[in-house]
Structure 1
Amino acid sequence: MFNDRPFPVDAFPKIIRNAIYEVEQHTQAPQGLIAASVLGVISLACQNRIDVCRLNNLRSPVSLFLLTLAESGERKSTVDKLLMKPLYQLEENLFEKYTHDLTIWKNDEAIFNIEKKALMLKLKSDIQRNKDYFATNEKLKDLLQSPPKAPVRFKLIFNDATPAAIKDHLCGYWRSVGIMSDEAGAIFNGYTLNELPFINKMWDGATFSVERKSEPEKLIRNARLTLALMVQPDVFKGYLQRKGEAAKGIGFFARCLICQPDSTQGSRKISSPVVSSEHLPVFHQRLMEIVNDNITLDNKNDRLCLRFSLEAENRWIEFYNKVESDMGFFGSLSNCKDYASKVAENMARVASLLHYFNGNDGDIPLSAIEDAVKITTWYVNEYIHLFSKPNEFTLAITEGDELYWWIKNHCNRHVVPYITKNTILQYGPNKFRNRSKANELLNMLQSQNKILIGKRGKTTLIAIANLKPAI
């Protein structure tokens, strides 16, 4: 993890914090990965129930865009299944109900069309024969006023879908969806992100016009979209090479909370076969309470607009001003002004999600803002490491630098002054488990004075140069 500090899990309310720790117990996945997954789930659940308001009339969605970079083997899928389990089950149930209701509707529509045709023929006959057609006309009017209603397709989650399919869905009755994937290679290499202006508009909650050659214009109004994608760094690097400049220039990355959590591979030892299982059900219960409210309540109801308390708003303004100052020429955010421009809004969204998901009433308090500041600041630091210095960052650095960071993080995590070369070959990222490649990279790092290499018997020991252990 290129962020020197661990993810601030303690900034989450208890119901969320306990769920994260429990998932970590079950999976031993990186905390940052689990936390990002949790934020995505909460955003998907809450985005259709609430908006966040600040500075009187400034109102925005609470939807989050999250991109999490993690190598194969980091247990992305396991984390996703644990957190999303009741949502996936709900998706199956909703699809089965929709399929059943669709069959009934098609039958009713067939009968409706037969009745309409018969009445129209009778009306035509009555007119041609100069008969009184008042009764027939009234029957036809009554019939046309109450056609069978097509069932609503409640779909919460899109995975690998085209922008056209997502637009068509959001033009309908249901306006709140998530593009979610624990292995988002198909999304980054496919069509889903081909129309980033549309994706950006959905983050903004703006109206979007959908035009087709053979259909009248449709409008997507007041829709909500969560984006929560986990992807391997090499796949994301390929996306950056193909479309990164456009994605950054158009402001897509600026809207995202991006991170690359530290790998836990090599340290996932079983210390106790007994893990807790009491907290996830509590998290799931609150999650489904919100989601089911979304479906049972009228979808056209206005969303609740959460406002800041006076102290919270003053703190938000202070945070906003600090970010603005850091965008100055000598500021820490001077090289990523596009991202910094969205930081305060993302912080407000996180604060409102924490407040609402925790079941609190009233205005968003100062404590929620402070917690959101910790979480958002962690993501800011991640973004800086990922994008502000491309020559030192994983997605654009040499493999030697990547191995250097892995060794350093391993030593810091286990509080040891050195590691063995066999540790790299057995537990390091897959690309470094080839002995000849590992030797080549280690020799290069040694020549750059970044690491020290020594021998203890037949065992090769490696340490970060500035730690200077006795080996």
Structure 2
Amino acid sequence: MIDIEDKIRDSEYARPEPLPLTGEVIPPQDFPVSSLGRVIGGAVTAISRKVQVPVALAANSVLSACSLAVQPHANVILPTGQDRPISLFLVTVANSGDRKSTADEIATDEIARFQRELQEEHAGREVELFAKKLAWDTAKAEALTHSKKKGRDAVEQALLDLGPRPSDPMTPVMTVRVGTTQGLIKQFETARPSLGLMSDEGGSWLGGYGLSEDNRLFTVSTLSDLWDGKPVQRLTGSEGVTSLYGRRLTFHMMIQPVLAGRLLGDIEFKGQGFLSRLLVTQPISLAGTRFVDPTAPVDPTIAEDIAAFNQRLANVIRAPLPIDQDTRALRPKRLPLSHNAQQLWWSFANEMEERIADGKDLEDVRGFATKLPEQAARIAAVLAVFQFGLRTEAIEDDFMACGISVARYYLSEAVRLIGVASPNPILVDAQIVSDWLRKSWTENLISIGAIQRLGPAPMRKRSADQVRDIIAALVRHDHLSDRLPNGGMVSGKKVREAWRVQVRHA
């Protein structure tokens, strides 16, 4: 005989409507790819089509490559009179399987190629440099031997005649994936004064030593100083204070959504102003829609547009660095805004100022919006210098308009993403389990063991206590019933603890 209470519990009428586990995601705006110009915009569209990734994802990778290429060559002079770097700090939020690594590899292919060339050249000069140093050391010993008896002045003159000891060439490094902030500063001592901290596995950076509890504020303040163009400093007991001027850094981290809250929702990062320096995008994934017709002809413009971008990128990154040979500090060209560009900039800056007031729509992203006019000028300068190189004498109004257009896109993303609370990892896991129950689980009851053995892959690594916490969240949100007092049959086995599934099957 069927228990009437069981019958009621099994009925659709008795099921409460499950509550959302996470906040509603506002869809992003379209990236204004037309504002990037023919070469850069063409590359973004081509990579997006070739790899089948969102346009915004491809845009962040392409812009990071452009930023790294042009940052040593120019500063932009804001209408306020400030001399600012044109480096960009970008963050791309995308799931594993969204092909972010492939898109990034295509966008930065010429940078990787040039770095390999530098490494080969450096290796070929090691023997020659060793011989020069040995010859100098021998000459120094001989000079001191012959001049010691003639007094201090003779020794000093002998050393002056000898000249400085041959110095090591710059370490052939252009990009750094992960590592400590101290290590990054050390690279700035020995490598090129223009570097990129760029990784398609940003989780390694987020979970690394540099962002541990003891080092996170130093890391964030150092990165902020590099964005500002300030000298970077390192203090050690053995070497004292090292202060390095004229260094530039492009930053691009690609992270998964489950980790994004650890960066974008961090109160300390926001308080330090680091989040205000980041241009963040989290496009909607195309997974599940990337079908291919193998019989369709390949569009030749895709390869042509990527090749055009690569040719321009190769030319820019191979241009001689404007560098002080003694200090290895960059001496970038100063680019002012034209009169019309300044008018556009001031109009945009005043708009941002009005909208950050208490009660206005940008109050919650006030720090980001305050820096956005500078971001717009940096983007405009990157576009202009990449297209015209050092022939650029000023940022014209058409480039300034494009910079503002792109900056508005990142503002819309900041409103969606930056400063939101860090997602509760239990709720994230609960959403994964709920989706699996709806799509794949056909039974009415579920147990801890079934979730561990048969559930989605991440759950197979969770302990029984962790799964119990996930189930508790699902119960609170009415995705599962309260625990049944007498257990039940789950996957052919009698279990002491069972919960009734209350999400409707897809």
Give ranges in structure 1 of 5+ residues lacking alignment.
Answer: 407-419, 423-428, 448-452, 455-459, 462-471
Aligned to 2:315: 289
Q: Residues of 1 paired with 2:414 and 2:141: CA distance? A: 63
Q: Residues of 1 paired with 2:45 and 2:196: CA distance? A: 24
Q: How does 1:128-147 map to 2 (within 5 A)?
A: 140-143=159-162, 145-147=163-165
- Which amino acid counterpart does residue 252 of structure 1 have in structure 2? F
User: Structure 1's 341 and 395: CA in aligned 2 closer, same or farther, altered over 3 A?
Assistant: farther
Aligned to 2:286: 264
8 A contact 2:233–2:244 mirrored in 1: yes
User: Structure 1's 330 and 402: CA in aligned 2 closer, same or farther, altered over 3 A?
Assistant: farther
Q: Deviations over 1:207-244 (max 9, x none)?
A: 23333222253321121111011011223334567xx2
2:383 is equivalent to residue 346 of structure 1: no
Q: Residues of 2 paired with 1:45 and 1:177: CA distance? A: 9
* Secondary structure at the counterpart of residue 233 of structure 2: strand
* Secondary structure at the counterpart of residue 335 of structure 1: helix
Post-superposition offset of 1:171:
3.4
Post-superposition offset of 1:156:
1.3
8 A contact 2:323–2:331 mirrored in 1: no
- Which amino acid counterpart does residue 274 of structure 1 have in structure 2? V
2:223 is equivalent to residue 188 of structure 1: no
Structure 2 residue aligned with 1:328, among 357, 371, 384?
A: 357
2:405 is equivalent to residue 374 of structure 1: yes
2:65 is equivalent to residue 36 of structure 1: no
* Secondary structure at the counterpart of residue 225 of structure 1: strand
8 A contact 2:58–2:103 mirrored in 1: yes
Q: Residues of 2 paired with 1:210 and 1:137: CA distance? A: 32
Post-superposition offset of 1:43:
0.7
Q: How does 1:170-209 map to 2 (within 5 A)?
A: 170-172=188-190, 174-193=192-211, 194=216, 195-209=219-233
Aligned to 1:250: 272
User: Structure 1's 385 and 301: CA in aligned 2 closer, same or farther, altered over 3 A?
Assistant: closer
Post-superposition offset of 1:334:
0.6
* Secondary structure at the counterpart of residue 104 of structure 1: helix
RMSD: 3.5
Q: Residues of 2 paired with 1:312 and 1:389: CA distance? A: 34
Q: How does 1:155-174 map to 2 (within 5 A)?
A: 155-172=173-190, 174=192
Structure 2 residue aligned with 1:149, among 131, 146, 167?
A: 167
- Which amino acid counterpart does residue 156 of structure 1 have in structure 2? M
8 A contact 1:160–1:192 mirrored in 2: no
8 A contact 2:177–2:197 mirrored in 1: yes
- Which amino acid counterpart does residue 266 of structure 1 have in structure 2? G
User: Structure 1's 192 and 284: CA in aligned 2 closer, same or farther, altered over 3 A?
Assistant: farther
TM-score if structure 1 supplies the norm length? 0.79
Aligned to 1:410: none
Q: Residues of 1 paired with 2:197 and 2:103: CA distance? A: 17
* Secondary structure at the counterpart of residue 251 of structure 1: coil
Post-superposition offset of 1:102:
3.1
* Secondary structure at the counterpart of residue 227 of structure 1: strand
2:332 is equivalent to residue 303 of structure 1: yes
Q: Residues of 2 paired with 1:366 and 1:196: CA distance? A: 33
User: Structure 1's 253 and 135: CA in aligned 2 closer, same or farther, altered over 3 A?
Assistant: closer
Aligned to 2:366: 337
Q: Residues of 1 paired with 2:263 and 2:131: CA distance? A: 47
Post-superposition offset of 1:306:
1.9
Q: Deviations over 1:412-465 (max 9, x none)?
A: xxxxxxxx958xxxxxx9879xxxx9xx79x96899xxxxx99xxxxx76xxxx
8 A contact 2:176–2:198 mirrored in 1: yes
8 A contact 2:98–2:287 mirrored in 1: yes
Q: Residues of 1 paired with 2:153 and 2:224: CA distance? A: 54
Post-superposition offset of 1:162:
1.8
* 264-273 or 225-234, which deviates more: 264-273
Count of aligned pairs: 416
Post-superposition offset of 1:358:
1.9
* Secondary structure at the counterpart of residue 178 of structure 1: strand
Q: Residues of 1 paired with 2:418 and 2:430: CA distance? A: 16
8 A contact 1:86–1:284 mirrored in 2: yes
Post-superposition offset of 1:278:
0.7
User: Structure 1's 7 and 402: CA in aligned 2 closer, same or farther, altered over 3 A?
Assistant: farther
- Which amino acid counterpart does residue 341 of structure 1 have in structure 2? T
User: Structure 1's 319 and 121: CA in aligned 2 closer, same or farther, altered over 3 A?
Assistant: same
Q: Deviations over 1:134-184 (max 9, x none)?
A: 9998655422x1422322224211111221222123235732111011111
Post-superposition offset of 1:395:
7.7
Q: Residues of 2 paired with 1:339 and 1:136: CA distance? A: 59
8 A contact 1:62–1:350 mirrored in 2: yes
**Paired-residue identity, %:** 26
Q: Deviations over 1:90-111 (max 9, x none)?
A: 1111122223323322232123
